[in-house]
Amino acid sequence: MSAATSVNRQGLFARLIRNPLGIVTLSYLLIVVLVAILAPVIAPMDPLLTDPASIMTPPDGIHLLGTDSAGRDVLSRLIFGAQATLIAAVIVVVVAIVVGVPSGLLAGYYAGKFDAIASWLSNMIMALPAMIVLLAVRTALGPSIYLIMTVFGVIIAPGFFRLTRSAVMGVRNELYVDAARVSGLSDMRIISKHIFTVVRAPIIIQSAMISGIAISIQSGLEFLGLGDTTLISWGTMINDGFRNIFVAPILVLWPSLIISLTIGAFALLGNAIRDGFLFRTLVLDTLRAMAV
């Protein structure tokens, strides 16, 4: 069994590398991650350094992408903004996996009452318009974007739940799982060793898509001015740009462009992995609807 697993693992990466789209998107995302981590080193200026004498200046030799409405360097803020954006995406994915995958494993493996309740809950959550729920959460808990993203992780967790559950149900009665059971392995071991292997690839695909959705939702809330406005993030930059759309329309362009590119890269990465695996999942597609 472990031989199969390692082939599988190797396959994922090898196939991704062979796919030109995979290479391009993977390297783009890698660069974004590196930029976020190395932001203090590579940013040309302090992203908080204001300059009342140069408000919304066009790009020049000092400010390569110009300055914003407080005279801060746009390029440096884009670079630092990658941090908050990626952290938000990671929070959503981690929360969604932590909530969705174990419950999906249990529901799929044991079925019965737990499955009935969990499935009902999952359908219930999926029926909610995420944005409206997040507005209610924001009213109650305040503007911390990380808190809001944690709640969003729970809202989007049914994606993982359904995916895991159906995958587990599909293999539960396969021969090798039966064999494992007969050979005396505990349920826990069967779940962790055999079944988890099956759902790993779709989880990775799903995580990529959800990262894109998380970025879209986060920047949307910040665009509305409902996020934490002191945070350096691409969403707050769009908010600043839209406030000054008549004075400096270009301010809205940079963050829009980088947000679109990054979400697109996550989507393409998901597609590339799926093409490599010829893996088809319905749940994946339905998730898109939440991100409008």
Partner 1 sequence: MLGFIVRRLLSGVLLLFVITTLAYFLVFFTVDGVAYRLLGDSATQSDILAKNHELGLDRPFFARYWDWLTAAIHGDFGTSWFNNERIIDALANRLPVTVTVVGIAILISAILAVVLGMAAAIKGGWIDRLVQLLAIAGFAVPAFVIAVISVTIFAITLSLLPATGWVPITEDPVGWLLSLILPTFALVIATVASSAQQIRSAIKNVYERDWVRTLRSRGIAEKEILFKHVLRAAAPSGLTVLSLQFVGMLGGSVIIESIFALPGMGQYAVTATGAGDTPVVMGVVVFTVVVVIVVNLVVDLINGWLNPKVRVK
Partner 2 sequence: MKHSKRIAASVAALAVAAVGLTGIAPAQAANKTDLVIGAVAEPTTWDPIGANIGHFIPYYQAVYDNLILRAPDGSYKPNLATKWQVADDSKSMTIDLRSGVKFTDGAAFNADAAKANLDAYIGGVGPYTAKLSGTTVSVVDSDTIKLTMSTPNPEIVYWLATTGSFMASPNVLKTAGLKTKPVGSGPYILDSATVGSQYVFKANPSYWDKSKQKFSKITIKFLSDATARLNALLGGQVDAAYLTAGTVAAAKSKGKTLYSNSRAVDYKGIVVFDRNGNKNPALGDVRVRQAMNYAIDRAALAKAVEVNAEPTTQIFSPAGTAYKKSLDNYYKFDLAKAKSLMAAAGYADGFTLNLNNWVEPNLNALVESYLKAINIKVNWVQDTNWYPNAKAGKFEAIIMSIFQGTDLVTAETATAKDGSWNCLKYESPAMKKAWAALSQSGTANQVKVQTANMNQIAVEEAWFVPFYRVLHYVATSNRVKTVVQAQNAVPYLYNYAPTGK
Under the rule (CB under 8 A), what is the footprint of partner 1? 120, 124, 127-133, 135-141, 212, 216, 219-220, 223-226, 238, 242, 245-246, 249, 252, 256, 259-261, 263-264, 267-268, 271, 280, 282, 285-286, 288-292
Pick between residue 177 and residue 287 the one whose CB is nearest to partner 1. 287
CB 122 within 8 A of CB 154: no
Closest listed residue to residue 77, CA positions, set 261, 230, 232: 232
Which one of partner 1, partner 2, none interacts with residue 52, CB within 5 to 8 A by kind?
partner 2
Indicate the SS3 state at residue 228: coil
What is d(CA 210, CA 89) in angstroms, rounded to the nearest whole number? 8
Distance in Å, CB of 285 to partner 2, minimum: 21
- Kindly state the smallest distance separating residue 225's Cβ from partner 1, in Å: 8
d(CA 163, CA 95): 16
Closer residue to partner 2 (CB): 129 or 142: 142
- What is the full DSSP assignment across 85-143? HHHHHHHHHHHHHHHHHHHHHHHHHH-HHHHHHHHHHHHHHHTS-HHHHHHHHHHHH-S
User: Based on CB atoms, which residue is closest to partner 1, 76 or 271?
Assistant: 271
Please report how close the Cβ of residue 110 comes to partner 2 at its closest, in angstroms.
42
70, interface contact from partner 2, partner 1, none, CB < 5-8 Å by kind: partner 2
- Considering beta carbons, is residue 148 or 177 the nearer one to partner 1? 148
Q: How far is CA 10 from the centre of its chain?
A: 24
Query: 249 burial class (0-12, 13-18, 19+ CB within 10 angstroms)?
Result: exposed
List the single partner that 69 binds among partner 2, partner 1, none, CB under 5 to 8 Å by kind. partner 2
Q: Based on CB atoms, which residue is closest to partner 2, 8 or 244?
A: 244
Q: Which does 53 bind (CB under 5 to 8 A by kind): partner 2, partner 1, none?
A: partner 2
Distance CA 58, CA 61 (A): 10
Q: Which residues bind partner 2 (CB under 8 A)?
A: 48-50, 52-53, 55, 68-72, 138-139, 142-144, 225, 228-230, 236, 239-240, 242-247, 253, 257, 260
DSSP of 20-52, one letter per residue?
HHHHHHHHHHHHHHHHHHTHHHH-SS-TT---T
User: 110 vs 146, which CB is nearer to partner 2?
Assistant: 146
